[in-house]
Amino acid sequence: DVKVTQSSRYLVKRTGEKVFLECVQDMDHENMFWYRQDPGLGLRLIYFSYDVKMKEKGDIPEGYSVSREKKERFSLILESASTNQTSMYLCASTAGLETQYFGPGTRLLVL
Amino acid sequence: AQSVSQHNHHVILSEAASLELGCNYSYGGTVNLFWYVQYPGQHLQLLLKYFSGDPLVKGIKGFEAEFIKSKFSFNLRKPSVQWSDTAEYFCAVNAHSGGATNKLIFGTGTLLAVQP
C-alpha cells in the first residue's frame, strides 16, 4: 500500500511565524501535491512538483512556497503565517496520470 | 477554465435509502474522473475512477458511478446506504491537457449524513 505521511496532525502557530509542513511518500512517485481544504470550498491546489527541485504553482500559491530536495519529500512553507491560512493542509502523491494518494492532513491554526 | 460542480452540499438520508450525488465538469476534451471519500477523522481515499471503457464503473463498498459524456456528468450512486457511509464525497477531474502530471480539479464536496 502507498503511504503518504505528514509531519503533524495539528499545529498552532502565531501570526508572522514561519511554518514548515512536511510530507513524505514511500512509493517513489514522481508527482507530489499540496492542497488546502476549507469547508464549502473543497480542495484547492497550492503547489505541485513533478520532479526533484521542480515545482509549479497551483491555483492559490500566494503566501506559500515549496521545496523538493529529495524525491520522497515535499515541504510546504508559510513564510509569514497569517490567520487566513488557518486550514486543513493535504499532501498527495501520484505516478503519472494514476490515482492520487493522500496523507492524513495537517490542521493548522494561526492565531 | 476547467471546473467541477457538485450540486448537493449537504444530503441527509435514512439507512437503506438510495443515493445519487451529482457531479458535472466543464472541459471538452478527454478526462479522467474520480470520486474520493473522506470519512470522519480519516484521510481522503479513492472510491472509484473512470479512465476509459465501460462508462459504468464500480467502486468500493457498493458504490458506482456513470460517465455520461454528452452531459459532462459523473454521478455517484448507491442503491442502499448505511450509517457507515456518513462522510464527505468529492468529485475530481483530470483534464488531459498534454502534460503527464495528474493535476486534479476538485468539486466543493457533498456532506452525506445517514441516519440509523
**CATH assignment at residue A83:** 2.60.40.10
CB atoms B44 and A41 under 8 Å: no
Using a CB–CB cut-off of 8 Å, the residues of B that contact A are: 6, 9, 32, 34, 36, 42-46, 49, 90, 92, 94, 96, 100-104, 106-109
Total domains, chain A? 1
CB atoms A96 and B102 under 8 Å: yes
Closest CA to A42 of B34, B13, B83: B34
Q: Report the C-alpha gap between A19 and A16 in whole angstroms.
A: 9
pLDDT of residue B30: 80
Q: Is residue A62 part of a domain?
A: yes
Contact criterion met (CB below 8 Å) for A109 and A86: yes
Domain, as residue range, for A38: 14-96
Residues A57-74 pLDDT 10s:
998 999 999 999 999 999
Q: Is residue A1 part of a domain?
A: no
Residue B29 neighbours by CB under 8 Å, 6+ apart: B95, B96, B97
CB atoms A102 and B42 under 8 Å: no
**CATH assignment at residue B74:** 2.60.40.10
Residues of B with Cβ-Cβ distance to A92 under 8 angstroms: 44
**Percent of all residues in chain B with a pLDDT value above 90, rounded to a whole number:** 74
Q: Is residue A43 part of a domain?
A: yes
Residues B30-59 pLDDT 10s:
888 999 999 998 889 999 999 989 999 999
The whole-number average pLDDT for the span B85-94 is 94
Domain, as residue range, for B81: 3-115
Structure confidence at residue B96 as a pLDDT band (50, 70, 90):
low
